[in-house]
Structure 1
Amino acid sequence: MLRHLAGAKRCVSLVSNALIKRTPSKLCVPSNVASVVSIRHFGPPTHIKHSTANESGTMAEIKEEMMKRLGLDHGYQPLPKSREHLLKYQPKLEELPSRTMQDSFTSAIIPLSTNLLLQDKYVTYLGNVRMGRLLEDMDMFAAWSCHKHVVIPNLPANVPLPYTFVTILVDRIDFTDTLASGTADIRLSGHVSWVGTSSMEVVVWLEQMQNGSYQKLTRALFLMAARNATNTGAAPVNPIKPANEEEQLILDGGMARKKQRQLLGAQSIFKVEPNDPEQTIMYELFKRTTPNDTMELNKRILPPNCRWMSHSYQMSTIPSFPEHRNHHNRVFGGFLMRCALEISWAAAVLYCRTRPKLERIADISFEKPVSVDSFIKMTAYVVYTELNYLQIMTVAEVLDPHSGNQVTTNTFYYTFSATHTVTEVLPRSYHETMWYIQGRRKFKYSMGIEPHYE
């Protein structure tokens, strides 16, 4: 989990000095700084072990079990089955017993080694695994962990769970250097790591069987909201009672991350003006792209070995269908994450003209639900580059075919790395400059350098 973040601010000057000594292949961040700001929780608590007792089967079996618990039927209905009668079974917070992290810990398998039809959905043409597909599975698995955590002692037998679980955001997804194969089993595991009154943080790991043992692929933090049976209001969740000091440390880390998210949200470039160092960067960008020998104020010049941001994007309009729905007849958040990742990857490939490596995914926010009859416009912009790294901002908008209105529902930030120094991207307008500053912030954060706000 995150170490205490207070010390990270004291390390910013060390990081700034270290960045001066960087090489094209890596940013040199001191190990002591990285340990302060990185998430150490890359595996379950040491007292929790994988066993047959906490295995949940395959991801397909988990999907079936969740439908059974929620009292849902197969087949699409434009008007979903009413769950209003379940509202009377919603418990009060004081009625819910405490839970440990062991209680919600579980694992599931994506059986790529034996299921050839499944392989076709997950494999790339090079034989690797499609990371977008795995994001879909991780989102569903996070919801399953919430099912494992929430226990209602007084719920009558055969009454469906009077809850709805929705994804609020995905905090940070880090990837290891292990190359995932499209033909070997992948194991998901995780547990609820922090709870509020009606929210839950779930940590999810991906591992793949390679050379006889499971190798770490990635780790993600999902913030989930518990809603009532009709998804019209919040619902209470079981508190966590740490089983030992390690679980207490993980629980404290969850609260630290909540405060960090609030800080970053309050300091968003779209809410407050850039700080003094960022305003200096903005002025330098203006000077670099404005000719000195002309009075044409609107004329901009592109420096050598650079590209305009306005020429560095890819866009796709995606019709959604009932097959993309979640259990509540809205577009599944995992589907949005997959589409966003895949167009972002395409934008990165076309920009740097090579196959880049996905390093990290920064916070993913889900602002509004998306109906299953929507048209979704995904636009992936290269908003910041540094050495061999690209920072991509992908915006998802829902298009109303009747009114023509567009509503932004999600924003995604991806960090890719190439094998060579990439062409520098530069903004040409003021709003592009804001995107550039925001992309720079996300890049620094993804590299383990906490933003420093004056």
Structure 2
Amino acid sequence: MQDSYSELILPFSSSKELFEQYTNATGGIRTGKLMEHLDSMAGSIAYKHILGPVKTLGKLEDRGFYVVTASVDRLDMLAPLVPSRDLRLSGHVIYTGRSSMEIGLRMESIGGVKPDETVLIGRFSMVCRDNLTQKARQVNPLKISGPEERALFDLGETIKQRRQTQASISLGKVPPDSSEAAALHSFYLQHGEGHQDASPTLKDHVFMGDTIQERCMLMFPQERNVHGKIFGGYLMRLAYELGFTNANMFTRGPLRFLSSDGISFAHPVPIGSILRLRSQILHTSSSADYPIIVHVGVRANVVDVKTGEEQTTNEFRFTWSQEFGKHSQNLRTVVPKTYKEAMLWLEGKRALALGAEIRGSRMNE
């Protein structure tokens, strides 16, 4: 595993020019920009696992294969980003299938008088394809050395199995179970259409269809990757920033990023294409730690200008929260209005439950 280990230092404490590039509107660090680095690092690690420590990748035509991001299993923010400290991004391959690789990534705040602190843990799934046939190509298997590497490899297997299980029980394939149906019915009786005037508190309910925010963009070659397509990390940043904007408008207050709950890359985005990003609030809840948690979905579609048809290339799911003492005075709840929205609401409910469980375990990693 350590043969693919790589790291990158972002010296925010000593480079004003670098910090200026990453500063957000409140003086912090732009998380979306960091996602670009994470995707790029995951790709570099995957190539390093296959090729060894080469200095340059060279032409992909000469290599005979290429590596693409299939999905991002999770990104969990465990602590706030501190602008005055440097960031260390590191990772390595933790699991291999026949043509797939699971990349474990870590982001740490380093430097200064405080000890190093892990602020983010993530998992990327990369796949290898033959350059000519476009079919799956076998990657180097991992040699496991010691109990720690065995635990990481088993984690990668668990992630793969969990992803397959979630796909098999997706609400796009099977109906909700009895407990989910009961929860949805109870929610409808309390918050559904026609009940807005039953209590003064229900005035702060928002129908899911009214939370849609969109952005259309032309894809330029400056954002291309080594395959001549739009860089996946750039798409992650665009989706993150639209999702954040939507959540910010919905909550009307400062937000804390909790997690990316799943990102899929179904098709590449060509240079010169028009990309439509569509964001929607899918679920809201609260917990003992946060007065409001907001789960947001972002879909990326490539638009055919001649026909008007659209093809979905990416699906993104993000979760933000507000903290006690910093939250808005009038918290709002998102309410589904159609059956399709109800299924999205239940998917969001599932994602938040899984996220809470995983964050609890990762705080101890």
- Deviation track 1:256-290 (CA, whole Å, cap 9, x = no partner) reads 21111100011111111111111122323443425
Alignment partner of 1:139 out of 33, 39, 43: 39
The equivalent residue for 2:186 is: 284
CA distance in 2, matches of 1:304, 1:210: 48
**Equivalence for 2:207:** 308
Between the aligned partners of 1:200 and 1:360, the Cα distance in structure 2 is 21
1:121 counterpart residue number: 21
SS state at 1:150 partner: helix
Q: Which residue of 1 aligns with 2:106?
A: 205
TM-score (normalised: structure 1): 0.70
C-alpha displacement of 1:202: 0.5
SS of 2:344's equivalent? Answer: helix
Partner of 1:423: 332
**Identity percentage of aligned residues:** 30
1:186 aligns with 2:87: yes
Amino acid at match of 1:205: R
| Counterpart residue number, 2:351 | 442
Question: What secondary structure sits across from 1:369 in the alignment?
Answer: coil
Residues 171-215 of structure 1, C-alpha deviations (whole Å, 9 max, x = no match): 01111223231x643211110000011110000111122424432
Whichever of the two has the greater Rg, that structure is: 1
Change (3 A) 1:113 1:231: farther
Code of the residue aligned with 1:239 in structure 2: it is P
The one-letter amino acid paired with 1:426 is V
Rounded Cα–Cα distance in structure 1 between residues aligned with 2:137 and 2:66: 8
Write the letter of the residue equivalent to 2:40: M
SS of alignment partner, residue 392 of structure 1: strand
Q: Deviations over 1:227-270 (max 9, x none)?
A: 22357222211111111122112112211211111000111111
Q: How does 1:139-178 map to 2 (within 5 A)?
A: 139-151=39-51, 160-178=62-80
Q: How many Å apart are 1:400 and its aligned residue?
A: 1.3
- Partner residue in 1 for 2:138: 236
Distance 1:401 1:358 in 2: 35
My pick for the range that moved more, 212-221 or 166-175, is: 212-221
Corresponding residue to 1:357 among 256, 261, 284: 256
Aligned to 1:221: 123
> What amino acid is aligned across from residue 334 of structure 1 in structure 2?
G
Whether 2:168 is the aligned partner of 1:266: answer yes
Provide the aligned length of Structure 1 versus Structure 2: 336
Letter in 1 for 2:210: H
4+ long deviations beyond 6 Å: none
Contact kept? 1:207, 1:218, Cα under 8 Å: yes
The 2-side partners of 1:327 and 1:184 are apart by: 31
Q: Which amino acid aligns with 1:347?
A: N
Q: Which moved more, 1:337-346 or 1:102-111?
A: 102-111
Q: Which runs of 5+ in 1 are unaligned?
A: 1-100, 293-301
1:102 maps to a residue whose letter is: Q
* Structure showing the higher strand proportion among its residues: 2
For residues 372 and 264 of structure 1, the distance between their equivalents in structure 2, rounded to whole angstroms, comes to 32
Whether the 8 Å CA contact 2:81–2:109 is kept in 1: the answer is no
SS in 2 for 1:363: strand
Other-structure match for 1:105: 5
Contact 1:164 1:231 in 2 (8 A): no
CA contact (8 A) 1:178 1:216 kept: no
- Does residue 414 of structure 1 match 2:318? yes
**Shift in Å at residue 127 of structure 1?**
2.1
Instruction: Name the TM-score, length of structure 2 as normaliser.
Output: 0.86
State the partner residue of 2:342: 433
RMSD between superposed Cα atoms in Å: 2.3
- SS state at 2:233 partner: helix
2:85–2:112 CA contact under 8 A, matched in 1? no
Q: Which residue of 2 aligns with 1:389?
A: 293
Which residue of structure 1 lines up, in the alignment, with residue 149 of structure 2? 247
Is 2:192 the partner of 1:325? Answer: no
Match of 2:238 in 1: 339
